[in-house]
């Protein structure tokens, strides 16, 4: 009887360990949330003080980087994210929903999931480094912004290095 017990344990233990591979526990996922941008925070890409500039900001979590990375603009965040060395390491990213926050001073409470957002490129508003991507949680808000400010609406997956360099 005892021998059968240990045989069952020997079969189930590897299955239990394997089933946990690739999954993250709730505490890991909970850690990857937006963090308030402080007045001294610098952009992960260019080193500029983030709060000195208008327009939507970005935050991202990447494998191999402890804590979150903060960006002075959505353009800088995407420049980091589409880099072939980084693109497969991004775990979570956030941007401001510009439909509900002022352009000059985006509110820390208006971050949304960057991967589900819609972006307007080619509009007339300026961000930290000049042209930037205006981010919205709803396509209809992005389209309304584009009708007023100009530009084209794109989903997250359409933002490539070619799109960024053409801005």
Instruction: Encode pLDDT of 5-56 as tens digits.
Output: 444 444 444 444 444 444 444 444 445 788 999 999 999 999 999 999 999 9
For residues 44 and 37, is the Cβ–Cβ distance under 8 A?
A: no
Gap between the Cα atoms of 51 and 38, Å rounded: 8
Our separate counts of H helices and E strands in the chain read 5, 9
Q: Please tell me the pTM assigned to this model.
A: 0.80
pLDDT band at residue 65, thresholds of 50, 70 and 90? confident
The angle subtended at Cα 34 by Cα 98 and Cα 138, nearest 5°, is 30
Gap between the Cα atoms of 125 and 122, Å rounded: 9
């Amino acid at each position: 009887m005892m021998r059968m017990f240990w045989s069952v344990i020997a079969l189930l233990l590897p299955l239990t360990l394997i089933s946990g591979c690739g999954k993250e526990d709730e505490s890991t996922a909970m850690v990857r949330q937006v963090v308030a941008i402080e007045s001294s925070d610098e952009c992960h890409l260019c080193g500029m003080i983030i709060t000195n500039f208008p327009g939507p900001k970005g935050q991202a979590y990447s494998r191999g980087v402890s804590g979150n990375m903060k960006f002075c603009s959505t353009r800088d965040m995407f420049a980091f994210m589409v880099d072939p060395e980084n693109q497969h390491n991004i775990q979570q990213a956030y941007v401001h929903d510009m439909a509900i926050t002022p352009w000059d001073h985006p509110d820390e409470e208006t971050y949304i999931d960057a991967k589900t957002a819609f972006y307007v490129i080619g509009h007339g508003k300026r961000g930290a480094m000049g042209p930037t991507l205006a981010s919205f949680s709803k396509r209809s808000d992005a389209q309304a912004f584009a009708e007023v400010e100009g530009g084209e609406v794109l989903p997250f997956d359409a933002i490539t290095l070619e799109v960024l360099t053409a801005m």
